[in-house]
A and B are shown apart, each in its own frame.
Chain A
Amino acid sequence: MRGVSRPPLIAAGALACVAATVGGCRRDGCVGGDDGRCLPPSACSAVRYTCDATPDQLRVAQVAGDERVPGPKAMAAVGDFVLENDRLRAVIDALDHPQHLAPTGGTLADLAPLDAGSGDQMNGVSQAVGVLPRDAAHYESWEVVDQRLAAAPEARYVALVFRGHLEGDRRVTVVTRYELRPCEPGLRIRTDVYNGAPDPNTIYVTDGYFWGDHTLLPFIPIAGHGFRTPDLDLLNLSAAWREWPFLAARAQAPPDVSYAVVPCDRNVGAGFNSTTLSAAGVPLRTTLSGDGISYERFVLAAAGPGLGPAVGEALRVRAMVHGDPAPVTVTGRILSGGLPTDGRQGRAASLLFYEPAGGPNPDDETRRLPWTEAVPGPNGRFTVALPPNRVYRIQPFAFGRPSGSPASIAVAGDDLDAGDITVERSGRLLASVEEAPGVGATYVELVLIPVDRPTAADGPEPSLYGDFVGCNPMLGPPHGGSPACNRALTTDGHFDLLVPPGRYFVYATRGPFATLDRAEITVGAGDEVAVSLLVQSLPSLLPAGALTGDFHVHGGASYDSAIPDQDRVVSFLASGVNVIVATDHDVVTDYQETLAALGAQDRITVIPGVEQTPNILWFTVPGEAFPKTVGHFNFWPLRRDALAARNGAPWDELREPGQMMDDMEALFDGGPEGGMRQLNHPLSDTKLGRDQGFLRMIKYDPRTPIAAGQSFAADVLLRVPGSRLRNLDWNAQEVMSGASRRDWLRYRALWFSLLSQNVLRAGTANSDTHSLSLERVGYPRNIVLGRYDQQAFTVEGFDADVRDGHLVGTNGPVIDATVDDGMGGVHGSGLTPFAADGRTGRLDISVTAAPWIPVAEVRIFVNGAQVKTIGVSDSFQTDHFSTEPGSVQLAVPLSEVVPAGGDAWIVIEAGLEQVTPPDDEDGVSDGYPDLPDDDVPTRPRSLTDPRFDVEAVAPGVWPTAFTNPFLLNLDGGDWVAPGIK
């Protein structure tokens, strides 16, 4: 070699080596890929907490028994991992225990302070790099790092390391380290991602926090936000994208706990924040092929009411990690009427601290900068931490509304006593409810509504800092425990409630098969008002031996519910329902401990079940750009296994309905033959891109036959995707789900189509309740006609009656109908055909209803067509507070309704007038009736409107009952379904 070639080459080589050494050769966890030996370093290394904790208080172990902390979300199962110190317990689920959106375990399942009265309120936290299922972390191995015995106290820790890759690309490796040290209120978490794929990508390393709308209330301290969240549209994420110093969240219901996430290796976290789902991760940046990225954060939990405890810890962590000025403590007292006020977990008094907005309105919620929330204790005292050297406004809240004018404080560098802050005085309502004159009631629900329709002059609608409007008065967080929204429960017939001043109708109710009582009260500030109400059972409403059941209810174990078990069970009891099927999302529950604590085992039967709720998009539908989920299905009776993942419910993701049904066969308590498989809300809309209704997802048109090759939907329904059952092989389907009249009319059209095609399924009516405010237990419910008494009740027999269609669905009226076949036999509804003489046979129909349940007509459907309507208004009460039920008996010759030739099926309805609307309102001809948007029931203007009191007690309900079909074999031979007209 000669000439001038050598020097540049040598220089270039040297340059490369130097640069490589400086830039890439430094060992840095697993950002360069997972070679099986790399180890992410400890996250948030600047965090320093000190205390007197002993090394033996630090623990890392696999769960071998019942390790669950209190709290509705605690889900530790045998095989999961526990990290515990003197302050909190974290549970990381085992690799084969995936939950929610995660395809594998290795995600944070439980996080709970160990303080007395605290517990777990976190649904779970999983890692991803995007919003699609392929972007989720898929872990394949784990290891424990145990440094409890390190010589230096500051070097002691326990850690779990999970190694894997993206669900959709093994070339992109993911390694996450969870670490817990003594004295620390949170987990140090670091995730390393290496992009081994050939293309640059937007690798948004993030934790997904699935709040589910009704659980923890998230908060970000940036201008215009706080608890306010922009609408989240997954297809337009940029509109919701924000950066923040920390993300926090607080419980709506006991146990009181709050959480915060502080980014450690970046000054800000980034993502989107909504009451459904938040993503807290790294700011968006393109990661080139062959490059890596890491994300360190401190995820903490703090006991106590409100958001303040978590924000205080978050600010302290930021001071340690980012050098932010140490927060100062602001204390004070809340007074009402000159006396300290018990905040009652924030219901009656809370404070929102924010930096004022610039400009003429410092309280402009679209521009002010919220920092924290304080909830006073029983003595009215509060303590919060705030960044120093700023001016804050303090807005008192009570009952979901600003209560008094905001005060201003200037916070310097030292702790500050803000003095006394006054909230408007509330009133006190003392209500006593009797179930017979002189006999106190036990389980009762109280409902308050304003006497006068709210106007703009009344100020903003009550809300939880802008979220969850729709409750007036707001006696408590809408999805929390009693009192919640405008409702309260009791176990002894007595209520002692703080209420905002105003005029109210106070209702006492025990469900639609009891009378209703109402009192009008005027409560002034500081007033104490007592009312006595009487609610009597109306046992004569129901056919002898009938039991009522709600086969679709949710409690705090569901990812989208926060209602405590105690309140949930009391709501069951107050609703008058006899049988509840517990159907929490993806977890088996049975409420037995709460029933035992209440001594109510003999008053209600709870059948353990589950609502299988897939959330991972995967099912492909022709013509659709995005993959789908397959809707929701209920299964019961099951066995609750508190030591198993999801209490024994199988993982339901990436399974077709038939496979989900196959999975359940071995799990039914009593064997596969006794299992109930219910198609839930079959045409429900999507939520965050997740299909909740199977039939809507596959675009089944009820005008088309379910026959091979007829349509994509038909082929899907007839397919056996697993070992035995078809996707069509549910044995019950919801005809009513919740209060929605629109949904009922559409679900009914589907059910009628199936009946006409000899796809015979029991039609059910369930509430799908998630809280006291979001759908009401037992509206609607099923009346199961089985000649039951409490002693003879068996789950097997009950389910058999449901499966065979021996039931009536209702949200108020009661139908007791039979067919006299004209040949000496009398038949109830059911899915078994019977012979009948169309010339001499007769329909005998009895309709009854509580005085406050309006009934206007009886409708008879034959082969899907409404063939007869009978007005019955005159037989029902106009005095809603009478103790005399309304009733009517009708006899209709079959000859008036059945067709001249062929067999028939008959369904009878009773309730308010209802004309089946045409399929043209939404501009889509899908075969289902469309209720106009302006036809949704709302509060009637007139007190004398028949619906006024129903709407107050069960908003949105359109009183209706329906029978299951009578299958009439009219022409001999086998019963032949009429087919689709």
Chain B
Amino acid sequence: VSGGTRALLVGLALVAMPAAARAAPCPESWAASLGPLPAGVGPADFGAVPEACPGSELTLRLRGTLLVASAAPDFFGSVAAGAMLRARHPLARRAWISFALDAVTFRYVANAVVTSSGLAVGPPTIGIYRALGDRPELAVALYGRVLLPFDTARQSGVETGLEAGLAARFTPRARVGLDGGLAVAAPVDVVGGQVHPFLRPAALVEGWWAPRPCLGLFAGAEGRFQAAPDPSFTSIAPRAAARFALRHGLSLALLVEVPVAGSDRTDLVAGLYASWAPP
């Protein structure tokens, strides 16, 4: 945890540094090639590698996750469907903030034949981002995020946490590029007076191709780990997405993610994104 905290402090310091010039590879906020899309199974956008480019937008994500382990010995399954609202807004030419909130989440969990379901609100996150460097084909941003401890799904305690990371976008050619980054999330469960901290890094690499200005295609994978306690490999999750730029700053996107290895038993993550960027 102390290492993660140090990294976060360094990151926050870098975010606050003055910027020289806007990164060239960054498209407009409504562009079809803008990425990466926040996915995974974490709360709101916590733990998801963000965009490397500054921008202003409002996004509604409808996300579904599916875990089917109905065969012996698991006899387990869960489905979650939720709506997340996420907003980004520039603070300065090279700095921006985000606010994300799981506005509503429905969960259905089957522990063999004992099942539960319910709706929940929360948690929210607040993030702050700082673009770095000034290379024509590369955009880099450091960021930090806070997971705010408001989640009506929790019965006895809260989950909060900090996250720091690095997002990058490499655009060697006009219609082709790479997104990626590293996210180091440190969620903390505080329950019944006991504190359970975790350190969970994740790395994303995703290529994109925009065959037309209104269409962006994305493919990549994210690796997730738990560094502490009990280090373990969580998952490697190939993902594919398509984003359509519409008129008036609107865009729609679809994403599918399939964790294929590791301890995460999630079978499928799917997201539908509707975004609006002010002209």
Contact = CB atoms under 8 A, between A and B. Distances in A.
A28 B193 contact: yes
A198 interface: yes
B109 A290 contact: no
B110 A26 contact: no
Contacts of B209: none
Contacts of B189: 24, 32, 290-291
B23 to A, nearest CB: 18
A33 B12 CA distance: 33
A33 B157 CA distance: 11
A759 to B, nearest CB: 31
Interface stretch (A2-10, A776-784, A789-797): A2-10
A285 interface: yes
Contact of A290 (B114, B196, B263): B196
A200 B107 contact: yes
Interface in B59-76: 67, 71-73, 75-76
Contacts of A132: 75, 111-112
B263 A198 contact: yes
B97 A8 contact: yes
A823 to B, nearest CB: 58
A288 interface: yes
A9 B12 contact: yes
B223 interface: no
B115 A129 contact: no
Interface in A141-174: 168
B97 to A, nearest CB: 6
Contacts of B157: 23-24, 31-32, 290-292
Nearest to A204: B114
Interface residues of B, number: 60
B176 interface: no
B245 interface: no
Interface in A619-640: 620, 625-627
Given A32-B191, A288-B153, A201 B111 contact: yes
B2 interface: no
B192 A32 contact: yes
B92 interface: yes
Contacts of B80: 200
Interface string B195-233: 110000000000000000000000000000000000000
Interface stretch (B26-34, B47-55, B144-152): B144-152
A198 B198 CA distance: 11
A3 B91 contact: yes
A519 interface: no
Interface residues on A, range: 35 or more
Interface string A13-55: 1011001100111111111110100100000000000000000
A203 B109 CA distance: 10
Nearest to B196: A290
Contacts of B128: 5, 8-9
A33 B117 contact: no
B139 interface: no
Greatest chain A CB density within 10 A among B73, B97, B194, B264 is at: B194
A833 to B, nearest CB: 45
Contacts of B115: 202, 238, 284
Contacts of A194: 191-192
B156 A5 contact: no
Nearest to B147: A16
A436 interface: no
A286 B150 CA distance: 16
Given A20-B160, A201-B111, A286 B194 contact: no
A620 B72 CA distance: 9
Interface string B127-139: 0101000000000
B95 interface: yes
A27 B192 contact: yes
Contact of A20 (B71, B158, B234): B158
B12 A237 contact: no
B259 to A, nearest CB: 12
B16 A6 contact: yes
A623 to B, nearest CB: 11
Nearest to B153: A288
A744 to B, nearest CB: 34
A458 interface: no
Contact of B111 (A31, A32, A135): A135
Nearest to B154: A291
Contact of A16 (B13, B75, B146): B146
A734 B151 CA distance: 59
10 contacts: A13-B146, A27-B192, A32-B157, A32-B192, A32-B195, A38-B192, A135-B112, A204-B114, A290-B159, A627-B73
Q: Across chains A and B, which 10 residue pairs bring their CB atoms closest together, nearest first?
A: A32-B194, A24-B190, A32-B192, A290-B189, A32-B191, A27-B193, A24-B157, A28-B192, A19-B149, A31-B192
Interface of B: 12-13, 15-16, 18, 67, 71-73, 75-76, 78, 80, 91-92, 95, 97, 107, 109-118, 126, 128, 130, 144, 146-151, 153-160, 187-196, 234, 263-265
Given A290-B159, A620-B72, 11 more contacts: A2-B16, A4-B95, A12-B126, A13-B146, A25-B190, A27-B193, A168-B73, A202-B109, A202-B114, A204-B114, A204-B116
